[in-house]
Amino acid sequence: MTPATDPSSLPDDWWTATECAAYLGITRGTWTAYVSREQAPAPERMFGRSPAWKPQTIMSWAASRPRHGK
């Protein structure tokens, strides 16, 4: 992970935990639980104290997730 000092400097090409959760249709708490249990990608960068992911990482991970009943 590459640290950054200013959390307000989050570029548009990075997603916060809230944005990842919104994309997946889950709560932020569920997303952070997935990450802490290593069931989701680890943050790729920290902006201040805020973890962030590249959108393509989350989209690829979501596409590869098994679905219930399929």
Structure confidence by residue, pLDDT tens digits, 28-49: 999 999 999 999 999 999 999 9
Answer whether residue 70 shows pLDDT above 50: no
How confident is the model at residue 68, as a pLDDT? 60
Q: Give the pTM.
A: 0.79
Beta pairing class for 2-4 and 45-47: parallel
Strand 50-52: give its sheet, edge to edge.
2-4, 45-47, 50-52
More confident residue, 11 or 20: 20
3-state helix, strand, coil in the chain (%, to 5): 45, 15, 40
- Summarize the confidence of residues 44-59 as an average pLDDT: 95
How confident is the model at residue 10, as a pLDDT? 61
